Amino acid sequence: MHVTTAMVASYFSVTVEVIRALVHDHRAELEASGYRVLTGTELSDFKQLSGIQSRTRSLALFPRRAVLNIAMLLRDSDVARQVRVYLLDMEYLARTQPVENFAPADSASLDARIDQRITHILGRTVVPLFNTLIETSGEHRRELTALRAGVQRIEKRLQQHHTRLQRLEAPREGRPLAGVMAAMDAMNGREFEEHVAGLLRRDGCTSVVVQGGGRDRGIDITALTADGRRIVVQCKRFAPHLSITSPELQKFLGAAKVLHDSEVALFVATCPFTRDALNIAAESDITAVHRGLLEEWSAGAALAVLE
């Protein structure tokens, strides 16, 4: 999939002139990443194939690699900063994950990894690009919306298939977490809170409210379980190599039990917890949803404390 200059600008929430200036200053680098300008017969063929009704004499196109390249060059964009953080986290995971050797007969494991990769591409690249296309297109909005819905259905089926394959495989101690976690690692803080809120709703919780902001009094989400118990949630989207420490658990404990009088307290994180933090959670009846448990919950497993 390729996108135009206007779509790249819309994605990063900057002006078209900013993107054109980057292309002017770094054209050779971007061309090495796949950026190209269509003219003449090539442009005519492209217009006919895509159905674009335009009299433009040239059309600049960016593939995914060139869009990521823009993110590395663009300074004044929060979206670009989030993309850079995501790329750095993925580089860290690539360096620190152990290499696993798979026999040809390990087809379930291979299928699971293929599903993870495709699901990640659909969820973090294709769907956002469809969103941008829909926002900037007038004539083909209905068709694009239908295509996006189809992609999202495929993504959901692959996630379900991946969950089934995981259940077929014997658990491996220390196995690196990927798939659904890669998508969460690419989220910003607010997106992660909305993701956790969606998991609560999926599992039957009601009155789910994402608090956010500086006045949340140490709580990111409030809700009720299906049987009416009060839930408070703290969400931390940290890099996988960091850990939740005991002072953070103690601060949450005060907010959850004293300020909010909760019956179910969840501390959800994309990273591990220190031993001291886990001890405090166990002693205080706080459910520490660490990276491994979060992956299982996101992949469809029920969270026991909510049942």
35-94 pLDDT, tens digit each: 999 999 888 888 777 777 778 889 999 998 999 999 999 988 888 888 888 788 777 666
Residues in the chain: 307
Residues 162 and 256 in one domain: no
Q: Which of 177, 235, 247 is nearest to 211 (CA)?
A: 235
Sheet holding 58-63, edge to edge: 2-4, 58-63, 36-39
Residues 195 and 300 in one domain: yes
Residues 181 and 192 in one domain: no
Residues 218 and 173 in one domain: no
Residues 215 and 290 in one domain: yes
Residues 49 and 31 in one domain: yes
Q: Using the 3D structure, point to which of 78, 96, 114 is the last residue of a domain.
A: 96
pLDDT for residue 255: 83
d(CA 86, CA 191): 14
What total number of domains does the chain contain?
3
285 vs 105 pLDDT, higher one: 285
Residues 169 and 87 in one domain: no
- Kindly state the DSSP code that residue 170 receives in the 8-state scheme: P
In the predicted model, is pLDDT for residue 197 greater than 60?
yes
pLDDT for residue 264: 92
Residues 125 and 70 in one domain: no
Residues 217 and 126 in one domain: no
Residues 71 and 115 in one domain: no
User: pTM value?
Assistant: 0.45
Q: Using the 3D structure, point to which of 96, 126, 145 is the last residue of a domain.
A: 96
pLDDT for residue 46: 83
Look at strands 230-236 and 264-269 and give their pairing.
parallel
Rg (CA), the chain: 22
In the predicted model, is pLDDT for residue 305 greater than 50?
yes
pLDDT for residue 180: 74
Residues 43 and 106 in one domain: no
| Mean pLDDT estimate for the chain | 79
Residues 136 and 214 in one domain: no
End-to-end CA distance of the chain: 42
CATH number, domain of 252, equals 3.40.1350.10
Domain that holds residue 48: 1-96
Q: Which of 29, 117, 12, 121 is nearest to 66 (CA)?
A: 29
Cα separations in angstroms, 222 against 106, 218, 234, 254, 305: 43, 11, 9, 15, 15
3-class DSSP assignment, residue 54: coil
Q: Using the 3D structure, point to which of 44, 65, 96 is the last residue of a domain.
A: 96
Beta-bridge mates of residue 114 = none
